[in-house]
Structure 1
Amino acid sequence: MHRKDGYVLIILLIAIFVMSIGLLVAIPVWETQIQREKEKELIFRGKQYVEAIRLFQTKHPGSFPKSFDELVEEKCIRKLFPDPMTKDGEWNIILPYSGSSSRRRGATTQTNKILVVPQSALSSVQNPQIIGVVSSSTKSSFKIYLEQETYDQWLFFYGQDPQSMPEIVYYGEDERD
């Protein structure tokens, strides 16, 4: 009877070992799948903000929201979506760039630049005009979105031309001409 008990224990240990190896193989696959789902969600949420800003523009031609709360108050977006790629859910905000190089000989020229401001610093920007959002995560992505490979380069803004990516100027960085 004792010999039989020993075999059962060995078979049980082998079964646990095989299941452990199966889990070790499955966990990276699950992590990859979760990351890909988050990427899809990031694109969906980013486009929701772009659509909300477009609706705001329709209601208030020539002006952009100064805060996300304005989008909710004006019923342009049903709720504020957090950034799915960060733990705190804070987006970086995209504002039109109005640096010194945009004026030449008294005329305003179109520059292909945007200003990226952390959501927490938006209150320190004078007269902000929100045109979009971008993730604050600097992690590399699985998906390449508009030829960009990190989440902080996946831009979602009103008037975006997928064929022409703007130069990004980060809030607090001095512009170097």
Structure 2
Amino acid sequence: MKKNGFTLIELMVVMAIIATLLAISSPKYFQHLHRAQESALHETLFVVRDAIDKFHSDQGRYPDSLDELVERRYLRSLPIDPVTDSTSTWEIVPPPSSKTKGSVYDLHSGAPGESRSGTPFAEW
């Protein structure tokens, strides 16, 4: 009487094939993941900087905090840094002149490390 099933050799061959496919595809996955985070960071910085500029044009001063941009509905919510996945890592840049009212002139990512092009995230 013959029993149907897989032998240990057949299972090992299938596992080796799956491991090879994962070894080939996982680096590509992580490259795409980092590329998506960088693209999201560029877009977030663009949108928040645009909101700061609009606030300055409307109010005649810069906002005192990112929360003020949300309170006055220039932004729907506090932006999340896509690299650190946090709203608290932003580095706020004050206005260049001490005579200018407000505290938020610009912002940069507080994420450690560099982008794929070699520039630190904090310089974006």
TM-score, with normalisation over the residues of structure 2? 0.83
| d(CA) in 1 for partners of 2:48, 2:21 | 41
3-state DSSP of counterpart to 1:65: coil
Equivalent residue, structure 2, for 1:11: 10
| d(CA) in 2 for partners of 1:93, 1:25 | 41
| d(CA) in 1 for partners of 2:77, 2:114 | 28
- Work out which of the residue numbers 68, 71, 82 in structure 1 matches 2:69: 71
Percentage of identical aligned residues: 25
| d(CA) in 1 for partners of 2:37, 2:95 | 27
| d(CA) in 2 for partners of 1:46, 1:64 | 16
Question: Which structure would you say has the larger RCO, counting Cα contacts within 8 Å and 6 or more residues apart?
Answer: 1
Equivalent residue, structure 1, for 2:23: 24
1:16-69 per-residue CA deviation (whole Å, 9 max, x = no partner) reads 1110121122111111101100101001110111111111012112x1000111
Equivalent residue, structure 1, for 2:41: 42
Q: How far off is 1:98 after superposition?
A: 5.2
| d(CA) in 1 for partners of 2:52, 2:102 | 13
- Work out which of the residue numbers 149, 152, 156 in structure 1 matches 2:119: 149
| d(CA) in 2 for partners of 1:140, 1:69 | 27
Equivalent residue, structure 2, for 1:136: 110
| d(CA) in 1 for partners of 2:56, 2:64 | 12
Q: How far off is 1:128 after superposition?
A: 5.1
TM-score, with normalisation over the residues of structure 1? 0.60
Q: Call closer, same or farther: CA 1:98–1:56 in 2, change over 3 Å.
A: closer
Computed over aligned residues only, the root mean square deviation of the Cα atoms, in angstroms, reads 2.5
3-state DSSP of counterpart to 1:140: coil
Q: Which amino acid aligns with 1:83?
A: D
3-state DSSP of counterpart to 1:93: strand
1:116-173 per-residue CA deviation (whole Å, 9 max, x = no partner) reads xxxxxxxxxxx7520111111121211x4xxx6121111xxxxxxxxxxxxxxxxxxx
More helix by share: 2
Q: Return 5+ residue gaps in structure 1 as ranges.
A: 100-126, 155-177
| d(CA) in 1 for partners of 2:57, 2:82 | 28
Give runs of aligned pairs for residues 45-124 of structure 1, distance below 5 A. 45-61=44-60, 63-89=61-87, 90-97=89-96
Q: Return 5+ residue gaps in structure 2 as ranges.
A: none
Q: Which amino acid aligns with 2:108?
A: V
